[in-house]
Amino acid sequence: MRNFKINSYRFVLVTLAGLLFGNLTLSAQSIKQNLNIVFIGNSITHGANLDDPLNDAPPVIAAAYLRQQDNIGTVTYFNQGYSGFTTVDFLPSTGTAFKRVENAAYAFEDKKALLIFSIKLGTNDSAIQGPNGSPVAPDSYRQNLKTIAGNLLKDFPGCIIIFQHPIWYSPNTYNGAKYLQEGLSRLQRYVPLIDQLVADYGKTHPKQVFVGDTEAFGYFKNNYLTDLTPEEGHQGIFYLHPNKKGAAALGAFWGKAILKVIKER
């Protein structure tokens, strides 16, 4: 009789534990993360040369990808990509693009959603001449990114910052601005500085500043004929801006990188 009572108690405890664990699992699965994203960038982020950038620009695709994920709820975003802009244009001291970024972040209605700044800058910085501040030396580029990130962290203490690596362009790129091989080489020197900056922030702002996509550069280098728009330049046909197919690919790269960061947190 005594053994029967003990076994009954054990059965009840095991059953209750199972029900409790099941409810906790169900609750965890039903919780979805809402996102507010500000995409910061240049003409590539803006969707230059696309017939319908409002529907086809990389930020649109990235947001659509995130909405399809089981653990993601609402995704609201603003595209703060401006043609020809460099890190210099986004410095708070200029009072131009950075102010627009701040206004966009303040404009989100869901104040409880996770605020993310996705930053992809460097193409115009790397130019030999043309864009504001170009050519931006690698050390200055890193300092500019640090200044931008530092001010975002100060203004929006709970935010997440994701630095997406710049993408490849052809070494004969020369339109209104002059890039060429010198510019492409400079762009590639920016990449390890992005990674180092993120590592530094990992010590001062844990789980707030991340490296995002690292694959798009190689992807476009290998698929420029199908994914970048051929443009007439001073040194022949060059490839710089994604076409519709390329913008979809880039948006997917960004979306996956953002999702990875969310999961890591």
The string of DSSP codes covering 111-156 is TTSEEEEEEE--TTTT-SBSSTTPSPPHHHHHHHHHHHHHHHHHHS
State the sign of the Cα–Cα–Cα–Cα dihedral 263, 153, 120, 100.
positive
Which residues of the chain, if any, have pLDDT below 50? 4-9, 11-29
Cross-sheet strand order for the sheet of 209-211: 72-81, 33-41, 114-120, 160-163, 209-211
What confidence score (pLDDT) does residue 10 get? 54
What confidence score (pLDDT) does residue 265 get? 80
Other beta carbons within 10 angstroms of residue 226's beta carbon come to 11
Tell me how far apart the alpha carbons of residues 20 and 77 are, in angstroms, rounded to a whole number. 37
Tell me how far apart the alpha carbons of residues 73 and 35 are, in angstroms, rounded to a whole number. 7
As given in the structure block, the two tokens for residue 45 are 């982020």
DSSP letter at 232 equals E
Q: What are the tens digits of pLDDT across the range 42-75?
A: 999 999 999 999 999 999 999 999 999 999 999 9
What confidence score (pLDDT) does residue 1 get? 53
What confidence score (pLDDT) does residue 30 get? 60
Tell me how far apart the alpha carbons of residues 159 and 161 are, in angstroms, rounded to a whole number. 7
